[in-house]
Amino acid sequence: MKIPFLKPALAMGSALILASCGSGSPKIVSTPIANIDSIPLKIDDLTETQLKGWGGADLVTDTIPGMSVEKAYSEIIKNNKGQKTIVAVIDSGVDIEHEDLEGVLWTNTDEIPGNGKDDDNNGYIDDVHGWNFLGDAVKENMEYTRIYKRLKPKYEGKTASSISTADRAEFIYYQEVKQEYEKEYQETVQNRNQYEQIKKQLVAAHQAVSSQLGKENYTIEELNDMQATGQMAQYKAMLQQIQNNVNENIPEALEELDEGIAYYDGRLDTHFNLELDGRAPVGDDPYDITDTKYGNGNVMGPDPEKEDLKHGTHVAGIIAAERNNNIGINGVANNVEIMAIRAVPDGDEYDKDIALAIRYAVDNGAKVINTSFGKYFSPNPEWVIEAIKYAEKNDVLIVNAGGNESLNLDENTVYPNDQNPEAPQEIANNFLTVGALNFDYGAQLLANFSNYGKTNVDVFAPGTKIWSTTPNNEYEYLQGTSMAAPAVAGVAAIIRSFYPKLSAAQVKQIIMDSGLTTNADVIVGGDRNNVQDFKELSKSGKMVNLYNALILASQTK
């Protein structure tokens, strides 16, 4: 269902003239954005400039469903600065040498770099910009792989009738884990083989057409105009499909196929490898929460090429890449320091690392924590739940990615989460789960990969094709709820900066209450046969909007 074109009716009432209620907070003379169903759909494709900055766009001005970040800076924030706010990024690590991030890093001024001592007595030696809970570890199994290989010697070949009553629950769990492992393994093999078959066919088609046209980089128009019969007509049809749906440049499309094949080969080598001991370089017992003397202060990890830092560096840039420095991009938040915590390997994270990472962030001054990761099996969820409660007790907001499997989280459990396994209520009020939006305002508003849930997803934010920092002073498009969460973490950081007396729970509620909603029906999971009311896909039914959030924050005591 398309959103109807109606006469704009954006005002909720007369303009608000609000006195500031936080240190350094701006005076707000603004009217909240509302009634967005009256806004016309954007017909034209986004330009490259629009695409690179769409997360900060304004729905009214640009007809792009961004968070009105630039509108908030130009009309509300302007040159005002609040209190410095620390945002912890628990992720794969951060390239702290990046040109657009080195000026926004948290520095532990009580620690003397490189002296091998715990100068501030916080339990971590040389934690200058954060902590690396993975040490020199990089590659890891998926959690279900680790559980499967741990239980396999005990239960392989056993039947339910041969299992004692005491072991029955664990045996059922083992069967569930084994089924998940085998399903995911087979799907990965099939995907890899399919990519290889497509590549083989595409290479043959491309060589034949390139020979006939006398060039490798032919356009859609040139291919359409080419005369072809028989086998050549089949080649032409295949290449037209690739040009229209993947990439007009066929050599680049082949490179993308190679990347896909390498990705699936990598998963087979690591994520499903029953012989891999990815934890060996760390040297701790990952199933002993009291074994805390491990890791190091190298938040960039051991990879000299920094490739494993891509995810965390991208996340950090979305939150706080230095604004208005004529370099790279503008992050959502100004006056922010990024605390880098490396705890997410290439594979599934360990519960112990995440629990200790949250506690580290809290103990060292973070007011917002971004957690752009997740998994569907967790052997020790209680450790992470206790850490979430610890953050709540210390007034720290956690902004969490909802996941990328197009699942209803009210029916599927993902970790970490703030749900009581015995009852529907939340275990804490400082945990905000974020789903992902697409830049198409209309039926395709929901990112086709995003998880959702009326109870277990709180809000939605831009997460499709997001341009941000990547290692070695580069920039790249990535997508996922991993990109939506840091956008919201940036919003939370701005609110906490200008209105420091507001609690984490209040900031969470402000973000949820101030968002924009729509009466549109949207496609869920990329399935055009699955169309649902956008308002029913999250607890708030809304899209995060910085402009409105600042107005509501200024009114909140």
Catalytic residues: 91, 311, 482
The residue among 517, 518, 502, 515 whose CA lies nearest residue 546 is 515
Task: Output phi, psi for 16, to 5 deg.
Answer: -95, 135
> What does DSSP assign to residue 426?
B
* CA angle 528–532–534, rounded 5-degree value: 120
C-alpha pair distances (Å), 451 with each of 214, 351, 447, 484, 538 = 46, 21, 9, 12, 10
Amino acid symbol at 258: D
Sign of CA pseudo-dihedral 199, 203, 205, 210:
positive
CA distance 512 to 521: 20
Amino acid symbol at 49: T
> What does DSSP assign to residue 75?
I
Q: Which residues contact 155 (CB under 8 A, 6 or more apart)?
A: 163, 170, 171, 174, 175
Q: Residue 121's CB: how many other CB atoms inside 10 A?
A: 8
C-alpha pair distances (Å), 516 with each of 36, 195, 427, 506, 546 = 7, 40, 27, 18, 10
Q: Which residues contact 539 (CB under 8 A, 6 or more apart)?
A: 454, 455, 456, 457, 458, 459, 512
C-alpha pair distances (Å), 307 with each of 185, 343, 404 = 24, 16, 22
* CA angle 3–4–9, rounded 5-degree value: 100
The residue among 480, 452, 466 whose CA lies nearest residue 538 is 452
30, β-bridge pairs: 16
- Name the helix (H) or strand (E) containing 431: strand 431-437
CA distance 48 to 38: 26
Q: Residue 172's CB: how many other CB atoms inside 10 A?
A: 12
